[in-house]
A and B are shown apart, each in its own frame.
Chain A
Amino acid sequence: DVVMTQSPLSLSVTLGQPASISCRSSQGLLYGDGKTYLTWFQQRPGQSPRRLIYFVSNRDSGVPDRFSGSGSGTDFTLKISRVEAEDVGIYYCMQGTHWPPGYTFGQGTKLEIK
């Protein structure tokens, strides 16, 4: 089965500074239809998850443009250009290319403010 590995697992960032989270898959995520099914979610404390990015680099409606996604193949990155207080939470990557096993999440990366 495909395994999603995030790093780091925790991140402490000064307000206004950038942050970067890596997500690696054990198998390539390019599907036969030409799309790469790699999604990023944010889960703020006590809240439900919220999708930020789909198909590697497409921001969902309402997501600030300080969030960006990039990557291809097996290596992907979520970047926050300038961290704000509301960005505190846990970030998850997820693959949807390989079926079975179906959607597979990374372990999560906890972002806190330094």
Chain B
Amino acid sequence: EVQLVESGGGLVKSGGSLRLSCAASGFGFKNAWMSWVRQAPGKGLEWVGRSISESDGGKTEYGGALKGRFTISRDDSKNTLYLQMNNLKTEDTGVYFCATENLGGQADWGQGTLVTVSS
């Protein structure tokens, strides 16, 4: 069974940094494409970015609105995906989900971790 467990969320002041983790199990993480998706309180879904498996080129790609503040990385030896968020803004507040990718979209999702950025 696929399991994705996000952690690392919390309260941070505007301008601060946070690193989220997504621990994966139940599937071949090394060959998986992985996404981060976020959801502001009471709002819709926004794709943050993704990590493509090393065997498929190892690229990372990001949604256009982030302007270089977010960095996605992975440690295949630990079956873990990361999201490093710098210079956080109040509008970055929300739940951050990690998800596996296949067949053109996000297949399995974690439960999410809440990030709150205060002014």
- A residues bordering B, Cβ < 8 Å? 1, 35, 37, 39, 41, 43, 48-51, 54-55, 58, 60, 90, 92, 94, 96, 99-108
Contacts of B97 in A (CB 8 A): 48-49
Bound complex: CA of A100 vs CA of B111, how far in Å?
A: 27
Given contacts A39-B106, A48-B110, A49-B97, 18 further A-B contacts (CB under 8 A): A1-B64, A37-B104, A37-B105, A39-B104, A41-B105, A49-B106, A50-B109, A51-B105, A54-B103, A54-B105, A55-B103, A55-B104, A99-B61, A102-B47, A102-B61, A102-B62, A102-B64, A106-B44
Q: Are A51 and B45 in contact (CB under 8 A)?
A: no
B interface residue numbers (CB < 8 A to A) = 35, 37, 44-47, 49-50, 61-64, 97, 103-107, 109-112
**Contact flag A102-B63 (CB < 8 Å), given A49-B97, A108-B45:** yes
| Chain B residues, Cβ within 8 Å of A100 | 64
Given contacts A49-B97, A102-B61, contact A41 B45 (CB under 8 A): yes
A49 touches B104 (CB 8 A): no
Q: Which 6 A-B pairs have the closest CB atoms?
A: A39-B105, A103-B47, A48-B109, A37-B104, A54-B103, A108-B44
Do B62 and A51 touch (CB < 8 A)?
A: no
Please measure, in the bound complex, the distance between the C-alpha atom of A104 and the C-alpha atom of B37, giving whole angstroms.
11
Q: How far is the CA of A96 from the CA of B107 in the complex (A)?
A: 13
CB <8 Å contact, B61 and A51: no
Q: Residues of B contacting A96 with CB < 8 Å?
A: 104-105
Closest Cβ–Cβ distance, residue B110 to chain A (whole Å): 7
Chain A residues with Cβ under 8 A from B44's Cβ? 90, 92, 105-108
What distance in Å separates the Cβ of A62 from its nearest Cβ neighbour in chain B?
Answer: 12
Report the minimal beta-carbon distance from B116 to chain A, rounded to whole angstroms: 18
Contact B112 A35 (CB under 8 A): no
- Of A1, A48, A92, A108, most buried by chain B (CB within 10 Å of CB) is A48
